[in-house]
Structure 1
Amino acid sequence: MQIQDLPYPDPGVPDARSGPRLLWWLWRNQLGGQLKALAWGLLHFVAVSALPFCVGLAVQAVVDRSGERLALTGALMLLCGTAVAVGDTFLHRAAVTNWITAAARVQQLLARKAAELGSTLTRRVAAGEVVAVSTGDVEKIGWFVEAVSRFTAAALTVVLVCVGLLVYQPSLGAVVAAGLPVVALAVLPLLPRATRRADVQREKAGRATELASDTVAGLRVLRGIGGEELFLDRYRRASQEVRHAAVRSARMWSLISAVQVLLPGLLLIAVVWYGVQLARQGRITVGELVTVYSAVMVLSYPLQHFEEIAMSYSFSRPSATRTARVLSLRRPAAADAGGTDATAGGGLAEVPRGELHDPATGLVAPAGRLTAVVCGDPDAAGRLAERLGGHPTELGRSVLLGGTPLDELPLEVARTAVLVQDKDPVLLSGTLRELLDVPASGAVPADEALAAAQCEDVLDALVQGSLDAAEPMDARITERGRSLSGGQRQRLALARSLITDPEVLVLDEPTSAVDSHTEARIADGLRRLRSGRTTVVFTSSPLLLDRADQVVLVHEGEAVASGTHRELFDAEPRYRAVVTRETDDEGVLRDAFRELEEIEESA
Structure 2
Amino acid sequence: MQIQDLPYPDPGVPDARSGPRLLWWLFRNQLGGQLKALSWGLLHFASVSALPFCVGVAIQAVVDRSGSRLALAGGLMVLCCAGNALGDTFLHRAAITNWITAASRVQQLLARKAALLGSALTRRVAAGEVVAVSTGDVEKIGWFVEAVSRFTAAALTIALVCGGLVVYEPALGIVVALGLPALALAVLPLLPRATQRADVQREKAGRATELASDTVAGLRVLRGIGGEELFLDRYRAASQEVRHAAVRSARMWSLISAIQVLLPGLLLIAVVWYGVHLAQDGRIGVGALVTVYSSVMILTYPLRHFEEIAMAYSFSRPSAQRTARVLSLERATDTGGSRPAEVPSGDLCDPATGLLAPAGMLTAVVCGDPDAAGRLAERLGGHPSEQSPSVLLGGVPLDELPLDCARTAVLVQDKDPVLLSGTLRDLLDVPSSGTVGTDAALSAARCDDVLAALVQGSVGAEDPLDARLTERGRSLSGGQRQRLALARSLVTDPDVLVLDEPTSAVDSHTEARIAQGLRDLRAKRTTVVFTSSPLLLDRADRVVFLHEGTAAAAGTHRDLLASEPRYRAVVTRETEDEDAPARRTVLAADDVPHRLEEIEETA
Give the TM-score category using the shorter length: over 0.9
Superposed CA deviations along residues 400-431 of structure 1, whole A, max 9, x for unmatched, are 00110001111111111000001111111222
Q: Secondary structure at the match of 1:443?
A: coil
Matched, 1:383 2:379: no
Q: Does the CA-based 8 Å contact 1:342-1:411 persist in structure 2?
A: no
* Distance in 1, Cα, partners of 2:227 & 2:192: 41
Task: Summarize the alignment of residues 540-559 of structure 1 with structure 2, pairs less than 5 Å apart.
Answer: 540-559=532-551
Q: Secondary structure at the match of 1:331?
A: coil
Q: Secondary structure at the match of 2:118?
A: helix
Q: Does the CA-based 8 Å contact 2:337-2:400 persist in structure 1?
A: no
Q: Which residue of 2 aligns with 1:599?
A: none
Q: CA deviation at 1:559?
A: 1.2
Q: Which residue of 2 aligns with 1:400?
A: 392
CA-based RMSD = 1.6
* Distance in 2, Cα, partners of 1:495 & 1:362: 30
Q: CA deviation at 1:449?
A: 1.1
Q: Which residue of 2 aligns with 1:598?
A: none
Q: Does the CA-based 8 Å contact 1:197-1:248 persist in structure 2?
A: yes
Give the AA of the match of 2:449. D
Q: 1:578 aligns with which of 570, 580, 583?
A: 570
Superposed CA deviations along residues 252-300 of structure 1, whole A, max 9, x for unmatched, are 0000000000011111111111111111111111111111111110001
Superposed CA deviations along residues 466-498 of structure 1, whole A, max 9, x for unmatched, are 224342222222222222111111111111111
Q: Which residue of 1 aligns with 2:219?
A: 219
Q: Which residue of 1 aligns with 2:75?
A: 75
Paired residue total:
587
Superposed CA deviations along residues 121-141 of structure 1, whole A, max 9, x for unmatched, are 111111111111111111100
Question: Higher mean Cα deviation, 454-463 or 542-551?
Answer: 454-463
The percentage of counterpart residues that share the same residue type is 82
* Distance in 2, Cα, partners of 1:492 & 1:458: 8
Give the AA of the match of 1:533. R
In structure 2, do the counterparts of structure 1 residues 511 and 103 end up closer, same or farther at CA, with 3 Å as the change threshold?
A: same
Q: CA deviation at 1:343?
A: 8.8
Q: Does the CA-based 8 Å contact 1:351-1:416 persist in structure 2?
A: yes
* Distance in 2, Cα, partners of 1:572 & 1:395: 30
Q: CA deviation at 1:235?
A: 0.6
Q: Which residue of 1 aligns with 2:580?
A: 589
* Distance in 2, Cα, partners of 1:342 & 1:3: 37
Task: Summarize the alignment of residues 64-103 of structure 1 with structure 2, pairs less than 5 Å apart.
Answer: 64-103=64-103
Q: Does the CA-based 8 Å contact 1:373-1:553 persist in structure 2?
A: yes
Q: Does the CA-based 8 Å contact 1:342-1:412 persist in structure 2?
A: no
Q: CA deviation at 1:146?
A: 0.5
Runs of 4+ in 1 over 6 A off after TM superposition: 592-595
Matched, 1:451 2:447: no
* Distance in 1, Cα, partners of 2:387 & 2:149: 48
In structure 2, do the counterparts of structure 1 residues 343 and 161 end up closer, same or farther at CA, with 3 Å as the change threshold?
A: farther
Q: CA deviation at 1:365?
A: 0.8
Task: Summarize the alignment of residues 173-572 of structure 1 with structure 2, pairs less than 5 Å apart.
Answer: 173-332=173-332, 335-336=333-334, 339-340=335-336, 344=340, 349-572=341-564
Q: Secondary structure at the match of 1:535?
A: strand
Q: Which residue of 1 aligns with 2:13?
A: 13
In structure 2, do the counterparts of structure 1 residues 482 and 185 end up closer, same or farther at CA, with 3 Å as the change threshold?
A: same
* Distance in 2, Cα, partners of 1:538 & 1:576: 16
Q: Which residue of 2 aligns with 1:40?
A: 40
In structure 2, do the counterparts of structure 1 residues 231 and 503 end up closer, same or farther at CA, with 3 Å as the change threshold?
A: same
Q: Does the CA-based 8 Å contact 2:36-2:94 persist in structure 1?
A: yes
Q: Which residue of 1 aligns with 2:593?
A: none
Matched, 1:133 2:133: yes
Q: Which runs of 5+ in 2 are unaligned?
A: 587-603
* Distance in 1, Cα, partners of 2:253 & 2:163: 31
Q: Secondary structure at the match of 2:459?
A: coil
* Distance in 1, Cα, partners of 2:56 & 2:430: 70
Question: Higher mean Cα deviation, 82-91 or 442-451?
Answer: 442-451
Q: CA deviation at 1:308?
A: 0.2
* Distance in 2, Cα, partners of 1:176 & 1:212: 52
In structure 2, do the counterparts of structure 1 residues 594 and 101 end up closer, same or farther at CA, with 3 Å as the change threshold?
A: closer
Give the AA of the match of 1:404. V
In structure 2, do the counterparts of structure 1 residues 44 and 542 end up closer, same or farther at CA, with 3 Å as the change threshold?
A: same
* Distance in 1, Cα, partners of 2:387 & 2:298: 65
TM-score by length of 1: 0.95
Q: CA deviation at 1:237?
A: 0.6
* Distance in 2, Cα, partners of 1:594 & 1:545: 16
* Distance in 1, Cα, partners of 2:582 & 2:189: 78
Q: CA deviation at 1:590?
A: 3.7
Question: Higher mean Cα deviation, 370-379 or 159-168?
Answer: 370-379
* Distance in 1, Cα, partners of 2:465 & 2:82: 58
* Distance in 1, Cα, partners of 2:290 & 2:563: 103
Q: Which residue of 2 aligns with 1:601?
A: none
* Distance in 1, Cα, partners of 2:177 & 2:435: 77
* Distance in 2, Cα, partners of 1:139 & 1:331: 27
TM-score by length of 2: 0.95
* Distance in 2, Cα, partners of 1:66 & 1:461: 90
In structure 2, do the counterparts of structure 1 residues 316 and 468 end up closer, same or farther at CA, with 3 Å as the change threshold?
A: farther
Give the AA of the match of 1:293. Y
* Distance in 1, Cα, partners of 2:581 & 2:246: 64
* Distance in 2, Cα, partners of 1:465 & 1:342: 49
Q: Secondary structure at the match of 1:589?
A: coil
Give the AA of the match of 1:570. A
Q: Does the CA-based 8 Å contact 2:544-2:555 persist in structure 1?
A: yes
* Distance in 1, Cα, partners of 2:357 & 2:171: 89
Q: Which runs of 5+ in 1 are unaligned?
A: 596-603
